[in-house]
Amino acid sequence: MEIILSQEVANLGFKDDVVIVKNGYGRNFLIPKGLGILATDSAKKVLAENLKQRAFKEQKIVDDATKTATALKGLEVKLSAKVAEGGHKLFGSITTIDIAANFAKAGQEIEKKYITISGGSVKALGKYNASVRLHRQVVVDVPFEVVAE
């Protein structure tokens, strides 16, 4: 079943994407919740026209996201956390909330839902990468280091 997404759906797609989903997922979840509409031929034509009209505005958004991405690449992110004596294990963990707070201190307001840490959360000292999705076309990997407090 083809669905045109009317909102961003995590792990599925962005607004105005045409995605293929199983029939039950589309009929029982996406369409009733208003997250998507059935992708008929006429709906696809309307979508194409809307995307064509929005292309110029979209370019400005992509340029802003690219500028933010270059600023994020230049940041040196060091997060401090409490550690067990003589070990590398953290008390608690480092999550996307901590990374978003660090970006905010540096002047880059990024929502935590756009940040992804491979493996979910960090529970040991070391160097890691976080993926920041600023736009559907702009994704940047930001290295960060977890150090002892």
CATH topology of domain 75-148: Ribosomal Protein L9; domain 2 (3.10.430)
Bridge partners of residue 139, in order along the sequence: 133
Options 3.90.1150.10, 1.10.3720.10, 3.40.5.10, 2.60.15.10; which CATH number does 2-68 get?
A: 3.40.5.10
Identify the pLDDT of residue 46: 93
Distance between CA atoms of residues 118 and 128, nearest Å: 8
Widest CA span in the chain:
65
Q: What is the model's pLDDT at position 138?
A: 86
Residues with Cβ < 8 Å from 145, sequence gap 6 or more? 77, 78, 79, 126, 127, 128
Residue 74 reports pLDDT greater than 90: no
Q: How confident is the model at residue 5 (pLDDT cuts 50, 70, 90)?
A: very high
Confidence of residue 84 (pLDDT cuts 50, 70, 90): confident
What mean pLDDT value characterizes the chain? 88
Of the pLDDT bands very low, low, confident and very high (cuts 50, 70, 90), residue 107 is: confident
Per-residue pLDDT tens digits for 34-69: 999 999 999 999 999 988 888 878 888 888 888 888
Range(s) for CATH 3.10.430.100 in the chain?
A: 75-148
Chain centroid to CA 26 = 23
Looking at residue 80, its pLDDT comes to 86
